[in-house]
C-alpha cells in the first residue's frame, strides 16, 4: 500500500509540474517538523501509571513534541500564484523513556519507539502577499497517510548492586499499521537571503480519521493491555524549513 501511494504522489507531482511550465515558481523545502499528541489519548500517557489519577493501561509515554524531517514541493496552479498544491513526505520519530524504581536495589527502565512515514498532498492558498517585506502568509488543507512501523518496546532490569544480573527484555509489540487522516495548517514564507526562504507553519492534524482497527486497539501504544478500542489521535504540528523557489 505504501509503495502504491508514493507512486500516485509521484504521478500527481509530474502531471502538475508539466502544467506549471517546467517547475516555474515551484518551491522545494526541507526542514524539521514536530508532532505533539493532544488530549487524553493513551499514547500521551506514561508507559507505567505513576499515580492513582493515571489510567490503568500501558501508555505510549510519548510526551511533548516528537521530532521529524519534512520534505515538501509546492506547485502553483493559477496565474496569480495564490492557489498551490503541496506534496510532501513527513518522516516522524516517536520515542519514550521511563525509569521505575523497584525497591532499593532494582530500577526498571522502559523504552518505547516507533516511526511514522507520512506522505501527503493538499491544497494551499496564499492569504497575503506582503511584497514590501518579501513575505507570504498561507493556509493549507492536506490529506495524509500514516505508515506506523519500527515499533520497539524494551524492559531493562538494572540491579544497582550487581551489573551481572542486568537483563533486557524485548517485549512483543503490536503489528505495523496504516491509517489515513488530514492536517490544517497556517504558515508564513519569508526570504532569509536570496534565493533561500524560511517556511514556518503550525497545524492541527488527526492521524487516524480513516482505517481505525478496534481489534488492534490504540494506535501508538506498545501493547493492548486493558485497551478496548482505537481512539482518534489529534496532533499539534509545527515545521520550520529552508525553501528554494525556481
pTM assigned to the model: 0.85
**Percent of the chain as helix, strand, coil, to the nearest 5:** 10, 55, 30
For the chain, which domains are there?
A: 2-245 (2.40.160.20)
First to last CA, the chain: 32
Query: How confident is the prediction along the chain (246 residues), in pLDDT tens digits per residue?
Result: 666 566 666 666 566 555 545 578 899 999 999 999 999 899 999 988 777 666 667 889 999 999 999 999 999 998 888 999 999 999 999 999 998 877 777 888 899 999 999 999 999 999 999 888 889 999 999 999 999 999 999 988 888 777 666 777 788 889 999 999 999 999 999 999 889 999 999 999 999 999 999 999 999 999 988 888 999 999 999 999 999 998
| SS3 assignment for 87-123 | EEEEEEEEEEEEEEECCCCEEEEEEEEEEEEEEEEEE
Candidates 234, 209, 231, 206; CA nearest to 218 is: 231
Residue 79 DSSP symbol: T
Spacing of C-alpha 213 from chain mean position: 19
Amino acid at each position: 500500500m505504501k509503495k502504491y501511494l508514493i507512486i500516485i504522489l509521484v504521478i500527481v507531482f509530474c502531471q502538475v509540474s508539466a502544467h506549471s511550465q517546467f517547475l516555474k515558481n515551484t518551491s522545494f523545502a526541507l526542514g524539521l517538523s514536530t508532532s505533539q499528541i493532544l488530549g487524553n489519548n493513551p499514547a500521551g500517557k506514561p508507559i507505567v501509571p505513576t499515580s492513582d489519577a493515571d489510567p490503568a493501561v500501558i501508555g505510549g509515554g510519548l510526551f511533548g513534541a516528537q521530532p521529524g524531517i519534512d520534505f515538501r514541493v509546492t506547485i502553483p496552479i493559477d496565474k496569480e500564484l495564490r492557489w498551490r498544491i503541496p506534496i510532501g513526505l513527513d518522516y516522524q520519530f516517536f520515542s519514550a523513556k521511563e525509569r521505575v524504581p523497584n525497591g532499593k536495589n532494582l530500577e526498571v527502565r522502559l523504552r518505547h519507539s516507533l516511526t511514522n512515514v507520512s506522505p501527503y498532498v493538499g491544497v494551499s492558498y496564499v492569504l497575503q502577499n506582503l511584497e514590501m517585506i518579501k513575505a507570504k502568509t498561507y493556509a493549507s488543507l492536506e490529506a495524509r497517510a500514516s505508515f506506523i512501523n519500527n515499533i520497539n518496546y524494551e524492559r531493562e532490569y538494572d540491579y544497582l548492586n550487581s551489573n551481572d544480573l542486568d537483563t533486557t527484555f524485548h517485549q512483543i509489540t503490536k503489528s505495523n499499521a496504516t491509517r489515513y487522516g488530514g492536517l490544517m495548517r497556517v504558515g508564513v514564507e519569508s526570504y532569509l537571503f536570496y534565493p533561500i526562504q524560511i517556511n514556518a507553519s503550525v497545524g492541527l492534524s488527526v492521524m487516524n480519521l480513516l482505517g481505525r482497527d478496534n481489534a488492534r486497539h490504540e494506535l501508538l501504544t506498545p501493547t493492548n493491555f486493558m485497551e478496548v478500542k482505537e481512539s482518534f489521535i489529534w496532533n499539534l504540528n509545527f515545521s520550520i524549513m529552508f525553501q528554494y523557489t525556481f
